[in-house]
Amino acid sequence: MTTNDCSPVSFDDSDTRRDEMHSTMEAWVDDLVDEVDDAVSSEQFQEWLDVQSHFHDYSYRNTLLITRQCPNATRVAGYRTWQDEFDRHVNEGGSAIWIWAPIIAKQCPECENSPSYHDQSDCDYDEASPDEWSKGLVGFRPAPIFDISQTEGEPLPELETEASGDASELLPALLEAASALDVDVDVVSQPEWPHGDAEGVCQYLSPTERPLIEVRNRENDAALAVTLVHEYAHVRLHGDVDDETERSKRELEAEAVGYIVGRYFGLDTSGSAFYLAAWEGDEPEAIFDRLERISSTAAEIIDIVDEVMIDE
């Protein structure tokens, strides 16, 4: 994957600033599309995909059960799956997370019960013997799973999506810019972080209150700064969107804004390519369809932060 130029840029000439910013951002979006294509075909991404394929998607009620029992769970699997698929073992004494696992068995075509329950029911179906019935879902049973934090063993492949570089001036300016962007920001320490593996969240508490952005604190100021820009972009672009099916599109736009703003201030934001590659449903070229919204939002955030830095 390519690494973008980390040298800060500036558009000092007021007569040409608008055109220069637009053309530069368009070129950077072009770079991002190329980087996403490179990320998708990379060995690192393919290894990560292979691991993800072994983790199940859980129903809403199982997700709720997992969250209630282990709020900070990120990757969960059964005891044998951790051993056989990932070469990890569950720590002794670890408390299982209990979910509902499907029971797949021979199923009566009429009452949809398993043979034993069919015999106890009032169903009269006898056109075929149970040996000839097809298998189907006949019920659920409690099953134990464990979070990766409860295991030890071989590390799982990770995607390096964090930005890097010197954000010692940018981060304070971004935090101060919250007021001009009409949002409240709370930087939460790692031990108190309540949102699992998310790096940042934006909450709309009520129609009369400003949105609240929470970001997880970490040692990497560059990554924290880009996460903050990402959440600012959500506020500016998606405050009136509540359709969950649009999530990947919202993420694409917000991450592209973070990529551009971070790059403008001299950070290496090439890790955004892996971030976007991991989102399904949108081709990288879809970024171009939203270029005007992305570039205008990035320019707005850049202008506000630049002004804060000048005043300091």
Is pLDDT larger for residue 176 or for residue 108?
176
Q: Which residues pair with 201 in a beta bridge?
A: 214
Summarised one tens digit per residue, pLDDT across range 273-307 is 998 888 755 567 778 888 888 998 999 999 999 99
Q: Give residue 25's domain range.
A: 17-47+159-311
Q: Is the pLDDT of residue 1 over 80?
A: no
52 inside domain:
no
Residue 312 has pLDDT above 70, yes or no: no
Q: What's the pLDDT tens digit per position in 136-193?
A: 787 788 999 999 999 999 998 888 889 999 999 999 999 999 999 999 999 999 889 8
In DSSP terms, which residues pair with 144 in a beta bridge?
98
Q: How far is residue 62 from each of residues 56, 78, 90, measured CA to CA in Å?
A: 11, 14, 20
Phi-psi region of 281 (alpha: psi -120 to 50; beta: other; left: phi over 0): left
How many Cβ atoms are within 10 Å of 116's Cβ, its own excluded? Answer: 12
- The pTM of this model reads 0.72
Shared-domain flag, residues 104 and 198: no
Q: Which helix (H) or strand (E) holds 103?
A: strand 97-106
138 and 178 housed in the same domain: no
The sign of the CA dihedral 215, 223, 309, 232 is: negative
Q: How many CA atoms lie within 13 A of 9 on its CB side?
A: 19
The answer to whether residues 212 and 296 belong to one domain is yes
Per-residue pLDDT at 282: 59
Which one of 153, 177, 196 terminates a domain?
Answer: 153
> Please, which pLDDT band fits residue 271 given cuts at 50, 70 and 90?
very high
Which long-range contacts link 22-25 to residues 24+ away (Cβ below 8 Å)?
22/295, 25/260, 25/291, 25/294, 25/295, 25/298, 25/299
1 is a domain residue: no
Q: Answer yes or no: is 224 within a domain.
A: yes
Any domain includes 261: yes
Give the model's confidence band at 18: pLDDT under 50 very low, under 70 low, under 90 confident, else very high.
low
Q: Is residue 35 part of a domain?
A: yes
Q: Assess if residue 70 is contained within a domain.
A: no
Tell me, yes or no, whether 229 and 254 share the same domain.
Answer: yes
- Domain shared by 33 and 114, yes or no: no
Q: Regarding predicted confidence, which is higher, 74 or 186?
A: 186
pLDDT of residue 13: 59
Q: What is the pLDDT of residue 51?
A: 82
Q: Which of 138, 153, 168 is the last residue of a domain?
A: 153
Determine the residue type at 231.
E
Which range, 4-18, 19-33, 127-141, 244-258, has the best average confidence (pLDDT)?
Answer: 19-33
Q: Which of 153, 186, 220 is the last residue of a domain?
A: 153
Do 38 and 143 have their domain in common? no
**Quick one: 29 and 166 in the same domain?**
yes
Question: Where is pLDDT greater, at 186 or 107?
Answer: 186
Give the closest residue to 210 by CA, choosing from 178, 175, 240, 184. 184
| Same domain? 99 vs 222 | no
Question: What local confidence, expressed as pLDDT, does residue 261 receive?
Answer: 95
Mean pLDDT, the chain, integer: 85
Contact 267, 164 (CB under 8 A): yes
Same domain, 130 and 110: yes
| pLDDT above 90 for 54 | no
> Which pair of structure tokens corresponds to residue 194?
């309540």
Residue 65 lies in a domain: no
- Look-up of token digits 């399904």: 280
The span from the CA of 262 to the CA of 252, in Å, is 15
Are 279 and 147 members of one domain? Answer: no
Please state which of the ranges 87-91, 119-123, 211-215, 229-233 shows the lowest mean pLDDT. Answer: 119-123
Is the domain of 284 the same as that of 167? yes
pLDDT at 94: 83
Contact 159, 199 (CB under 8 A): no
94 and 237 assigned to the same domain:
no
Cα–Cα distance, 120 to 116 (Å, whole number): 7
Number of domains in the chain: 2
The answer to whether the Cα torsion of 218, 205, 299, 284 is positive or negative is positive
Asked if residue 119 is part of any domain, the answer here is yes
The pLDDT assigned to 10 comes to 59
Confidence of residue 121 (pLDDT cuts 50, 70, 90): confident
Residue 184, beta-bridge partner list: 212
266: confidence class by pLDDT, cuts 50, 70, 90 = very high
DSSP string covering 237-276: HHTT---GGGHHHHHHHHHHHHHHHHHHTT-B-TTHHHHH
Q: What 3-state class would DSSP assign to 116?
A: helix
pLDDT digits (tens, 9 = 90+) for 75-104: 899 999 999 989 999 999 889 999 998 888
Cα angle for residues 309, 161, 285 (degrees, 5° grid):
90
pLDDT at 125: 74
What pLDDT was estimated at residue 108?
A: 81
- Of residues 51 and 90, more confidence is placed in 90
